[in-house]
């Protein structure tokens, strides 16, 4: 049976003891040597096994000569140390070891029969490139340093995983070229060192089995779960905000890379803004991506390829020669910025946690070829610790931000702040006295809920229409541009796809149409357009990209109008209810929250538990309900006056949900908001979520209507109460005289709801 192969390799593998036998010949030729007789005896025995010199490729040949091989290797793997050392004879790329020490055998026996050897984090790609680097260093004078710690993760009998560092003694290995060798030029070496990730390129320059790897290696393991250097780095990362952090960590990386003059940096990435920023937490680190004297930079600071690698693919981006990089892409701000800082080679490594890019770790050098896509892989061993530390600091920073929001905005409403303060004091008192104590939950029992909304009618249709108009304009412009560029480059497939998009846009806009088109454009077409350098075409291409700007471009005209419309409506209505809250709180302090989406909705909770220091009376609830109706009418009327100034003439409908039974509410720590407590009380939330799109029973008419106030309730008592409020508002000429009454269609799990609907008087209605 052939020696088992566990990966592709440019080597033919042959186990040979030729070097060892040559040394024995020298010993045997010296009668004065103490090992003279032993050497002669071993040579005589080995003479009958020529494959020990010429090369073994069959497992059976090793098995047949196991005892002889053990005695040949006695000086390298002493029998006296068999219980102390973890050693074996091994051949790279072959899933086969022999002549193991007893300690090694004991470890494997404890691991169990199903254990398989796998070098942690070392795949076929890395194996192949490492082999090629060995060949380049051996025959072409390069000094490519691909070395990084290798580990086996081996479980014990107690299912505890131990981590063993792997060391190879390769002095008995020789690399021999074959007739399959492909000559390598200086240009090839430059191309290879800048394209570590292109395995096909490496395989083309170093074909499979184009070299012979002959001999044997001694593999030694030692228990090293955490390397000393990594441990030191982890220790330093705990004190990331110390004054000399930058210098001490740079010393560690210089040791890792064996380069005396490299520097490190870190740049924070704010995904919501698509911007790079100098990290303001702890002791600020240098940022090499951001130009000097700036605190932030747009994502456009990166070239197209570096943006793809770091932001989208979230993998390393390494350049071995920045001058060459600039000559390929003269417009690159990144290259210009690095050259201005005397950086001539660099590695940018994305810091990623749970799929989110937190920032970019930077390793830079003033010399070309110090850093490249090959030695970028050395960062793999330290990236987990860097990621953990950066995540911790980002979280701490976000907590500080949240504290500011809480102090200056509306995270905790003033009406219930007292209870949160009391809970926090209990928690701190317990912790300071040494007692285990969980932060108590904040619950308000037996409060009356009030819910209302002013919803923007037809907002989804308006949004779809805006998207449709903008995308039609963009696709027509792109179609025209591609037709003009067709003589320079083939765009047959792209033209067909754009025509398909245009046909789809003539029919309708689906939920994912916008994303589908954007994904297609970013998938390569836009990059191809950017690479066209014909002087006559550049103005047309630049014009297309200028119109694609979301903030100013013509391809986003209607979407900006839509967003502006929704924003103006929401701001106007939110301003009214927020302003009127002052008088509502004067009626009786209560919890208030409102939300803006396609309209403004609000929740009010009132009851004695909200403010036990004041006497709550039921009439306060009645006063607040009347206030709610009056304010919703005011919000609708304000929109009526605003409508003529809006880019889109979108309408608003108003709705109130009456819920007469008190409920309990609990503050949810995960969402930082109040929610109903208990399954019985959940009915209120269910009705809220389903009522706004409901229809009048036995019809297709929505229960809400433009220019009318809709009140949804359950009982006759609630109806009579709200008819009284309507009468007051009619006397104040806020509502019209006619009251519609209807039944609400049965909703999932909800039935028996009824409704009242009244016209909200506008100036034309009063004349």
Three-state SS letters, 66-80: HHHHHHHCCCCCCHH
Measured distance CA(91)–CA(85) in Å, rounded: 19
Percent of the chain residues past pLDDT 70, beyond the cut: 86
Q: Please report the pLDDT score of residue 670 as a whole number.
A: 59
Using DSSP's 3-state secondary structure scheme, residue 503 falls into helix
pLDDT tier for residue 59 given thresholds of 50, 70 and 90 = confident
To the nearest 10°, the Cα dihedral for 399, 401, 405, 406? Answer: 30
Measured distance CA(142)–CA(37) in Å, rounded: 44
CB atoms within 10 A of CB 658: 22
User: What strands, in cross-sheet order, belong to the sheet with 317-319?
Assistant: 296-298, 275-277, 263-270, 356-365, 345-353, 317-319
Question: 232-399 sits in which CATH class?
Answer: alpha beta
Q: Are 703 and 710 in contact (CB under 8 A)?
A: yes
Using DSSP's 3-state secondary structure scheme, residue 174 falls into strand
In 590-715, alpha helices (H): 618-642, 682-691
Angle CA(132)–CA(147)–CA(177) in degrees, nearest 5? Answer: 25
pLDDT tier for residue 437 given thresholds of 50, 70 and 90 = low
* CA dihedral over 323, 324, 329, 330, signed as positive or negative: positive
Q: Which residues contact 393 (CB under 8 A, 6 or more apart)?
A: 240, 241, 279, 281, 282
Task: Give per-residue pLDDT as tens, 449-490.
Answer: 999 999 999 888 899 999 999 999 999 999 998 888 877 778
Q: What are the backbone angles phi and psi of residue 692, rounded to the nearest 5°?
A: -70, -25
pLDDT tier for residue 362 given thresholds of 50, 70 and 90 = very high
Using DSSP's 3-state secondary structure scheme, residue 479 falls into helix
Q: Please report the pLDDT score of residue 239 as a whole number.
A: 58
Measured distance CA(411)–CA(668) in Å, rounded: 12
pLDDT tier for residue 210 given thresholds of 50, 70 and 90 = very high
Q: Are 451 and 659 in contact (CB under 8 A)?
A: yes
Using DSSP's 3-state secondary structure scheme, residue 181 falls into coil
H or E element that contains 651: strand 651-657
Q: How far, CA to CA in Å, does 395 sit from each of 128, 242, 539, 568? A: 40, 18, 45, 34
Measured distance CA(300)–CA(276) in Å, rounded: 10
Q: Please report the pLDDT score of residue 407 as a whole number.
A: 44
User: Per this entry, what is the length of the chain?
Assistant: 767
Using DSSP's 3-state secondary structure scheme, residue 737 falls into strand
Residues 491-495: contacts with CB under 8 Å, at least 24 apart: 494/525
Q: Please report the pLDDT score of residue 225 as a whole number.
A: 47
CB atoms within 10 A of CB 144: 19
Task: Give per-residue pLDDT as tens, 482-516.
Answer: 888 877 778 888 889 989 889 888 887 877 888 88
Measured distance CA(747)–CA(750) in Å, rounded: 5
pLDDT tier for residue 421 given thresholds of 50, 70 and 90 = low
Task: Give per-residue pLDDT as tens, 166-197.
Answer: 888 888 889 999 999 999 999 999 999 999 99
Measured distance CA(402)–CA(40) in Å, rounded: 80
Q: Are 216 and 3 in contact (CB under 8 A)?
A: no
Instruction: State mean pLDDT over 52-81.
Output: 86
Count H helices, E strands: the chain?
26, 23
pLDDT tier for residue 409 given thresholds of 50, 70 and 90 = very low
The two three-digit tokens of residue 291, written as one number: 């130009």
In 94-151, alpha helices (H): 102-111, 124-139
pLDDT tier for residue 133 given thresholds of 50, 70 and 90 = very high
Q: Which residues contact 271 (CB under 8 A, 6 or more apart)?
A: 356, 357
Task: Give per-residue pLDDT as tens, 524-545.
Answer: 888 888 888 788 888 888 898 8
Q: Are 757 and 742 in contact (CB under 8 A)?
A: yes
Taking 90 as the threshold, does the pLDDT of residue 389 lie above it? Answer: no
| Angle formed by the axes of helices 459-485 and 557-587, nearest 10° | 160
- Indicate whether this model's pTM tops 0.85: no
Q: Please report the pLDDT score of residue 410 as a whole number.
A: 42
Residue with tokens 């009998």: 157
Q: Please report the pLDDT score of residue 599 as a whole number.
A: 92
Instruction: State mean pLDDT over 117-121.
Output: 80
Residue with tokens 């006619």: 738
Largest CA distance in the chain: 130
Taking 50 as the threshold, does the pLDDT of residue 339 lie above it? Answer: yes
DSSP string, 225-283: SS-HHHHHHHHHHHTTTSTTHHHHHHHHHHHHHT-TT-EEEEEEEETTTTEEE---SSS
Compute the half-sphere exposure of residue 516: CA atoms within 13 Å on the CB side of its CA. Answer: 15
Residue with tokens 């290696």: 217
For 123, left (φ over 0), alpha (ψ -120 to 50), or beta?
Answer: beta
Among candidate residues 527, 523, 503, the one with its CA nearest the CA of residue 513: 503
Task: Give per-residue pLDDT as tens, 611-635.
Answer: 887 888 999 999 999 999 999 999 9
Q: Are 632 and 574 in contact (CB under 8 A)?
A: no
Q: Are 637 and 762 in contact (CB under 8 A)?
A: yes
DSSP string, 360-425: EEEEEESSTTSS-TTGGGGGGGTHHHHHHHHHHHHHHHHHHHHHHHHHHSSSS-GGGHHHHHHHHH
Percent of the chain residues past pLDDT 90, beyond the cut: 34
Q: Are 398 and 390 in contact (CB under 8 A)?
A: no
H or E element that contains 561: helix 557-587
Measured distance CA(340)–CA(323) in Å, rounded: 11
Taking 80 as the threshold, does the pLDDT of residue 249 lie above it? Answer: no
């Amino acid at each position: 049976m052939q020696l088992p192969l566990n990966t592709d390799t440019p080597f033919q593998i042959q186990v040979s003891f030729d070097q060892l036998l040559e040394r024995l010949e020298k010993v045997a030729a010296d009668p004065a040597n103490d090992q003279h007789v032993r050497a002669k005896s071993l040579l005589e025995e080995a003479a009958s096994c020529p494959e020990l010199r010429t090369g073994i490729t069959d497992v059976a040949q090793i098995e047949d000569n196991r005892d002889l091989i053990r005695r040949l290797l006695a000086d390298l793997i002493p029998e006296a140390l068999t219980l102390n050392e973890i050693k074996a004879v091994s051949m790279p790329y072959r899933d086969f070891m022999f002549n193991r020490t007893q300690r090694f055998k004991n470890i494997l026996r404890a691991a169990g029969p199903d254990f398989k050897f796998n070098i942690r984090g070392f795949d076929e790609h890395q194996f192949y490139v490492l082999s090629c680097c060995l060949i380049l260093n051996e025959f072409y004078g390069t000094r490519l340093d691909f070395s990084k710690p290798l580990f086996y993760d081996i479980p014990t009998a107690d299912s505890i995983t131990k981590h063993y560092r792997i060391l190879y003694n390769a002095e008995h290995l020789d690399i021999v070229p074959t007739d399959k060798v492909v000559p390598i030029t200086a240009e090839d070496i430059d191309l290879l060192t800048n394209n570590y990730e292109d395995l096909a390129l490496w395989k083309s320059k170093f074909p499979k089995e184009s070299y012979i790897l002959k001999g044997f290696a001694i593999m030694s393991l030692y228990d090293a779960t955490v390397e000393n250097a990594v441990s030191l780095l982890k220790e330093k990362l705990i004190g990331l905000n110390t004054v000399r952090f930058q210098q001490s960590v740079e010393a560690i990386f210089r040791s890792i890379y064996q380069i005396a003059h490299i520097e490190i940096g870190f740049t924070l990435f704010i995904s919501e803004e698509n911007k790079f920023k100098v990290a303001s937490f702890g002791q600020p680190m240098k940022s090499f991506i951001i130009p000097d004297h700036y605190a932030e930079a747009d994502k456009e600071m990166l070239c197209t390829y570096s943006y793809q690698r770091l932001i989208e693919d979230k993998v390393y981006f390494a350049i071995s020669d920045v001058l060459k990089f600039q000559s390929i892409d003269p417009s690159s701000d990144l290259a210009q910025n690095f050259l201005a800082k005397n950086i001539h080679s660099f590695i940018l490594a994305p810091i990623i946690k749970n799929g989110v890019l937190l920032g970019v770790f930077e390793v830079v050098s003033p010399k070309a070829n110090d850093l490249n896509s090959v030695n970028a892989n050395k960062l793999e061993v330290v990236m987990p610790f860097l990621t953990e530390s950066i995540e911790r600091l980002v979280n701490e920073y976000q907590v500080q931000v949240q504290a500011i929001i809480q102090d200056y905005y509306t995270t905790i409403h003033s009406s219930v702040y007292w209870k949160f303060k009391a809970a926090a004091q209990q928690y701190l008192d317990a912790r300071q006295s040494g007692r285990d104590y969980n932060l108590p939950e904040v619950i308000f029992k037996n409060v009356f809920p009030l819910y209302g909304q002013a919803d923007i009618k037809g907002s989804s249709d308006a949004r779809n229409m805006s998207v449709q108009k903008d995308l039609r304009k963009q696709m027509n412009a792109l179609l025209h541009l591609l037709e003009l560029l067709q003589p320079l480059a083939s765009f047959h497939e792209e033209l067909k796809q754009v025509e398909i998009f245009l046909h789809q846009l003539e029919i309708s806009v689906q939920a994912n149409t916008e994303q589908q088109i954007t994904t297609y454009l970013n998938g390569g077409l836009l990059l191809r357009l950017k690479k066209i350098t014909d002087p006559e075409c550049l103005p047309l291409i630049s014009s297309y990209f200028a119109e694609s700007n979301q903030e100013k471009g013509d391809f986003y005209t209607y979407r900006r109008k839509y967003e502006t419309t929704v924003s103006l409506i929401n701001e106007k209505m939110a301003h009214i209810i927020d302003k009127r809250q002052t008088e509502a709180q004067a009626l009786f302090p209560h919890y208030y929250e409102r939300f803006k989406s396609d309209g403004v909705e609000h929740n009010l909770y009132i009851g004695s538990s909200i403010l036990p220091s004041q006497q709550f009376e039921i009439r306060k609830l009645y006063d607040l309900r009347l206030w709610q109706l009056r304010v919703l009418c005011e919000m609708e009327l304000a929109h009526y006056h605003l409508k003529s100034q809006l880019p889109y003439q979108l309408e608003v409908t108003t709705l109130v949900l009456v819920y007469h039974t008190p409920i309990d509410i609990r503050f949810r720590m995960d969402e930082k908001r109040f929610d109903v407590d208990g399954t019985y009380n959940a009915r209120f939330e269910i009705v809220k979520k389903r009522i706004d799109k409901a229809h009048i029973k036995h019809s297709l008419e929505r229960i809400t209507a433009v220019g009318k106030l809709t009140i949804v309730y359950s009982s006759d008592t609630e109806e009579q109460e709200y008819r009284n409020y309507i009468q007051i508002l009619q006397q104040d000429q806020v509502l019209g005289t006619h009251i519609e009454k209807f039944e609400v269609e049965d909703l999932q799990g909800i039935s028996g709801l009824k409704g009242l609907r009244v016209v909200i008087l506008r100036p034309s209605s009063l004349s």
